[in-house]
Amino acid sequence: MKIKRFFLAAVALLSLSAMAQAQATYTDKDGNEYQFKKHVFINLEGGAQYTLGEAKFKDLISPNVQFGLGYQFNPWFAARLQANGWQSKGGWNGYTEDLKFAPLTQDYKFKYVAPGLDFMFNLSNLFCGWNPNRVFNVTAFIGGGANIGWGNDEVNEISKHIQNVANYNLEYLWDGTKVRPFGRGGVELAFRLSDAVRFIVEGNANILTDKYNSKKAGNPDWYFNALAGLRINLGKTFTKTAKPVAEPEPEPAPAPYVAPAPAPEPQPEPVKVEPLRRDVFFLINSFKIRESEKQKVQEVVNYLNEHPDAKVSVTGYADAGTGNNRINDRLAKQRAAAVVNALTKQYNIPAERIISDSKGSRVQPFAENDKNRVTICIAE
């Protein structure tokens, strides 16, 4: 059973990795190509914390700040070291142990800092594809670390001076400095301000041992943070390649007129048709036909229209310098299919005149690695 679960988890991880590689490029409406780059980022946030307790909601609100240093490994996965802290609160509402005492409502505060590690999953890029110009992104995260608490003086003083509180579940009363593990999860909403800056809104929930707020409740203690601030990307997050502009071809000079010389009637001879080869090149991890390569497809179409009996073989390849056989087999097949779809759907070339194949990265037609991201078309 454990082996089966491990196998399923490995398959899921490989699938997500392949998806991430396929989503690492983007082409905008103007034909510009973007390539994702790994990068470092920092988060600067501030807001408020609500510590779960018995007092009124507003009495358990306290200030909160957070600093994070992270690394974006691919368009959908990042990890960050973060430190969250300032103040937590505890309290009770309307408690009395003896009828001779009036009901007591009390809250108290103490300080903490909680360094930890979060694993972050950009759901927008994972499910909708990477787009460096997207205005809004949703990221889920999960993590944990160590909560370091101190300054718990208020509740210690209260327990000394109020008799009927001393036995009110304060079995976990603590002072000095305490270190406790915590786990957390949350959601981050990011709004793009520029290539380097995002405005972020974050909500996270944190779970700790029952001993955090000094009161014994028989269940874990919780606090919740609502934060807003900035994410600042350090360095370039992508490279951009502008759409190439095709230069107009010069008008051919008219040929001088030469009067034909009389000649005997020619004997008909079989016409030999020379084959045509065109190599359609692609960018890394892409099977989109670029504007600069579409003219080659048009030349194949022109040849087939001029020679009604000719057929074309379309073979896709991938470079051996990147990826692996599974990814490269898929890319090669998609590159061949992209050219076949253009011939049949855009130019109405009958499917029976097309022979399609793909070689992955097992066959390298060119000595230069990058040129093997290609679909080779041979018409004859």
- pLDDT value for 158: 79
Tokens of 52: 């779960």
- Selection from 348, 323, 318 nearest residue 333 by Cα: 318
How crowded is residue 185: how many other Cβ atoms within 10 Å of its Cβ? 16
As a whole number of angstroms, the distance between CA 355 and CA 314 comes to 6
pLDDT digits (tens, 9 = 90+) for 352-376: 999 999 999 899 999 999 999 999 8
Confidence band of 10 (pLDDT split at 50, 70, 90) = very low
Task: For 306-374, give the DSSP string.
Answer: H-TT--EEEEE---TTSS-HHHHHHHHHHHHHHHHHIIIIIS---GGGEEEEE-TTTS--SSSGGGGSE
As a whole number of angstroms, the distance between CA 244 and CA 249 comes to 15
Q: Is 61 exposed, middle or buried (0-12, 13-18, 19+ CB in 10 A)?
A: middle
Place of tokens 């082409």: 27
Question: Residue 218 — left, alpha, or beta (φ > 0 → left; ψ -120 to 50 → alpha)?
Answer: left
pLDDT digits (tens, 9 = 90+) for 293-339: 999 999 999 999 999 999 999 999 999 998 899 999 999 999 999 99
* Alpha-carbon distance values, 349 to 91, 311, 339 (Å): 77, 10, 11
Tokens of 306: 């001029």
**Percent share of the chain, pLDDT over 90:** 65
Q: pTM of the prediction?
A: 0.59
